[in-house]
Structure 1
Amino acid sequence: MTEELSVWQLVANASLTVQAVMALLFIFSAISWFMIVQRGFYFRACNRAMQNFEHQFWSGMDLSQLFRQGSADIESGASFVGMESIFRAGFKEFSRLRQQPGVDADAVMQGAQRSMRVATSREEEQMDTHLPFLATVGSISPYVGLFGTVWGIMTSFQSLATMNQATLATVAPGISEALVATAMGLFAAIPAVMAYNRYSSRVEILLNKYDSFSDEFYGILHRQAHTAPMPPTQPSQSKG
């Protein structure tokens, strides 16, 4: 408890410039932790949605039925992320182009592939949300804290010029106040850097899985597009 009070005392006794630096670093840290928690929940939801959709997709369910099921979920207020968004974008364009007369199979596949690529880019943008801010906080916070420390030490030495006798007791408080800024800079930077590296790795892993799914789904659509529809079966006539 005494250490906590001493730290708060150092903050309260610091100069206005150093206090402004500490306040800025505290804001950086608070926003970073909010984004870290938010991204954690988001990536957990992405992994859960991907596992559920993969189970449905590879269960042998008809693609049209899977698409209609998703459309019904949309009407009930559901939203899709990850693989299901890519699937819906590709299958919707595939079905639309295939129903148009005069469109060959290659054009159908090009349209479906383009739609899946756009959907993947949108998913990448969603996953990269807040990561640039975390990278910025991780890179500049130590320098902002160092600026506060340098300013505080400079102010302490300027105050020594007016003293007849300088002792460690007169210098130590000012230097301690200044060093708090560096500590706060590191406190803001370290979690931000760790979260940025972790989430960047997750983005790369998910994008690789999305690309693999797009290739596999493209192969399935390619087989359907180049398969001639079966002629309707004629009802058999009974011999009288």
Structure 2
Amino acid sequence: MIVILILASAWSWGIIVAKSVRLGALDRTAERLLKSLTKGVSTSELSEEFLKVKADDPLRIVYQAMVDENASSAELRRNVGQQESLLERVHRVAQLASGNALDGLRTGLQGLATIGSIAPFVGLFGTVWGIMNSFQGIAASNNTSLAVVAPGIAESLFATALGLAAAIPAVVFYNRIGGAIGKYSKRLTTFIGIYEVELSRQLAKGEAHGRRAA
């Protein structure tokens, strides 16, 4: 039992550290890019900024999905109906890319939830098992002195403590990491909205220019 709990604790801490480091880096990148947008930098001017972002960054994945859809529909924006259809397709593509990226960030969280809910019971089972062995030792030796009982009981209580030591950080960081992913999801949604507004503005300008030319 003790070995299982130690391995579970080590595994959960590995997930906690990896997720915390990655989400911290993603948050810094998202904050920098969103600040650029709020300062009036258009999405078309952000291409060089996104080239500096890692390829597996969800923000770059979403951005690239929208850019690719926009580029592939270059011939399908001649009237208002086609432009509205383009905006809808860009939105759907962005939502799909965002959902897949967030699912990747959530990988491993279910393991933390499992450890947080099961580890205390595993530790309790180890405690019960250890106490049972202690009583069996008393019965076999016909000796009820503390020297005989104490080692087995101490080991069994250690299993309970270890179960709690594995469960508490898993539960705490499951909630914290889940909250951080939720916050990052809002940033992705904000970026998608900004891109869609900018794209709509560009399409409207193109439509107005086409009418003047006609």
How far residue 142 of structure 1 moved from its aligned partner, in angstroms, is 0.7
> Mapping of 1:1-240 within 5 angstroms?
21-67=1-47, 69=48, 72-73=51-52, 78-100=54-76, 104-227=82-205, 228=207, 230=209
How far residue 44 of structure 1 moved from its aligned partner, in angstroms, is 0.7
1:134–1:193: 8 Å Cα contact kept in structure 2? yes
Q: Which deviates further from its counterpart, 216-225 or 180-189?
A: 216-225
CA distance in 2, matches of 1:164, 1:101: 91
Larger radius of gyration between Structure 1 and Structure 2: 1
TM-score for both structures, normalised by structure 1: 0.78
2:128–2:156: 8 Å Cα contact kept in structure 1? yes
**Residues 125 and 32 of structure 1: is their aligned pair in 2 closer, same or farther, counting only changes over 3 Å?**
same
| 1:98 aligned counterpart, secondary structure | coil
Query: Which amino acid counterpart does residue 220 of structure 1 have in structure 2?
Result: E
- Partner residue in 2 for 1:13: none
Q: List alignment gaps of at least 5 residues for structure 2.
A: none
**Residues 213 and 48 of structure 1: is their aligned pair in 2 closer, same or farther, counting only changes over 3 Å?**
same
Query: Which amino acid counterpart does residue 36 of structure 2 have in structure 1?
Result: Q
1:145–1:184: 8 Å Cα contact kept in structure 2? yes
| Equivalent residues, number | 210
Structure 1 or 2: larger helix share?
2
Q: List alignment gaps of at least 5 residues for structure 1.
A: 1-20, 235-240
Identity %: 33
What RMSD over aligned residues (CA atoms) do the two structures have, in Å? Answer: 2.5
TM-score for both structures, normalised by structure 2: 0.86
How far residue 27 of structure 1 moved from its aligned partner, in angstroms, is 0.6
**Residues 181 and 27 of structure 1: is their aligned pair in 2 closer, same or farther, counting only changes over 3 Å?**
same
How far residue 70 of structure 1 moved from its aligned partner, in angstroms, is 5.3
Query: Which amino acid counterpart does residue 43 of structure 1 have in structure 2?
Result: L
CA distance in 2, matches of 1:208, 1:23: 40
CA distance in 1, matches of 2:42, 2:58: 20
CA distance in 1, matches of 2:35, 2:88: 27
1:72-130 C-alpha deviation (Å, 9 max, x unpaired) = 548xxx42523333222223212321334768112111110111101110221122122
| 1:162 aligned counterpart, secondary structure | helix
